[in-house]
Amino acid sequence: MPDQEARAQRAKLLDGQIALVTGANSGIGEAVAQGLGAAGARVAVNYVVGDEAAQKVVQAIRDGGSEAEAFKADVADEAQVQAMFKAVVERFGTLDILVANAGLQRDSAFLQMTLQQWQTVMSVNLTGQFLCAREAVREFVRRGPRDVSKALGKIIQMSSVHQEIPWGGHANYAASKGGIKLLMESLAQELAPRKIRVNAIAPGAIRTPINTDAWSTPEAYKALMTLVPYGRIGEPEDIAQAAVWLASDLSDYVVGATLFVDGGMTLFPGFATGG
Ligand code: NAD
């Protein structure tokens, strides 16, 4: 049965590997954690609030046949990030895959944007990426090569279409995602000689709690669809499949790339009939 064979092959993609997903008790991170678990990885589920939601994700991964454990830490806090990586290595032995996914929005018209709104977004979305990536790289280098993957380690940074598309009313968020683009590319360039692959995923509109306003009423959904040529909202699983591929040896020659998973949102849909 070709379908069964394909499923069996996919289930082995990440066998023996250990993954940490930040912000993994909601939305995209939850789906990515479950996707990596279903592909055979043992999964560290990071979260900052919501013990119960984190335990639910852990249980779902275990029910699927992989090991999982929850690790509470604020990705914007250096000491907490370092303690989390130490705990993950103590629990699972090492780390092969980091999906730096945690992120948030603090939206405001620019005239009213407070320094706190700016700093909260930068601390979590950009500094959090730096702190987690640095600890992951330190662990990859400390431990050295393993026979579970061609790469020494893989980092996937969760960006956004707003690393490309300017976003009025969300200048802090767009700036943080633009920052991720060059952080990712600079890390990829610096670390490729060590066989560490750093890439990013740039989701478009995905149905999660971060953007409920954009899809939860028929009117909002209809307006959203004017921005999405493919004609449907993205689901967290769409991102999970991309993450599994980027974490696996199937993408071994992919270095420093941003994979847009956006139903065509970055294709300037307004120009399809105008311009
Ligand atoms: P979400 O709100 O469902 O999930 C965000 C997760 O990050 C939550 O688990 C939250 O608790 C966690 N988090 C927030 N601050 C944290 C901190 N300091 N430390 C640890 N974890 C923290 O939203 P989502 O849509 O799943 O977002 C996940 C990522 O995807 C974000 O980086 C977001 O910017 C990005 N993204 C989402 C969309 C979308 O349409 N949903 C589009 C583009 C990019």
- The verdict on the CB of residue 25 being under 6 Å from ligand 1 is yes
Output the pLDDT for position 274.
80
Residue 256, by phi and psi: left (phi above 0), alpha (psi -120 to 50) or beta? left
142 in helix, strand or coil?
Answer: helix
- The verdict on the CB of residue 101 being under 6 Å from ligand 1 is yes
Report the C-alpha dihedral over residues 87, 89, 93, 98, rounded to 10 degrees: 130
- The verdict on the CB of residue 258 being under 6 Å from ligand 1 is no
Supply the Cα-derived Rg of the chain in whole angstroms. 18
Please identify every stretch of the chain with a pLDDT value under 50, giving residue numbers as ranges: 11
- C-beta neighbour count of 44 within 10 angstroms: 28
Amino acid at 185: E
Output the pLDDT for position 37.
97
Summarised one tens digit per residue, pLDDT across range 35-63 is 999 999 999 999 999 999 999 999 999 99
- The verdict on the CB of residue 28 being under 6 Å from ligand 1 is yes
Whether 38 contacts 60, CB under 8 Å: no
> Would you state the structure tokens that stand for residue 215, as one six-digit string?
């899809």
Output the pLDDT for position 23.
98
Output the pLDDT for position 11.
47
201 CA distance to ligand 1 middle (Å): 13
Cβ neighbours of residue 37 closer than 8 Å, sequence gap 6 or more: 43, 60, 61, 64, 66, 68
The CATH number of 2-262, from 3.40.50.720, 3.40.250.10, 3.40.50.170, 3.40.50.1820, is 3.40.50.720
Pairwise CA distance, residues 13 & 150, whole Å: 12
Pairwise CA distance, residues 123 & 134, whole Å: 15
159 CA distance to ligand 1 middle (Å): 10
Task: Please choose, from the candidates 156, 263, 166, 169, the residue with its C-alpha nearest in 3D space to the C-alpha of residue 207.
Answer: 263
131 CA distance to ligand 1 middle (Å): 16
Output the pLDDT for position 6.
64
Chain mean position to CA 272: 30
> Would you state the structure tokens that stand for residue 200, as one six-digit string?
């990013």
Output the pLDDT for position 9.
52
Q: Active-site residue among 173, 221, 230, 253?
A: 173
Output the pLDDT for position 91.
98
**Among protein residues, the one whose CA lies closest to atom 6 of ligand 1:** 23
Whether the model clears a pTM of 0.85, i.e. scores above it, the answer is yes
Domain boundaries, the chain: 2-262
Output the pLDDT for position 275.
75
- The verdict on the CB of residue 210 being under 6 Å from ligand 1 is yes
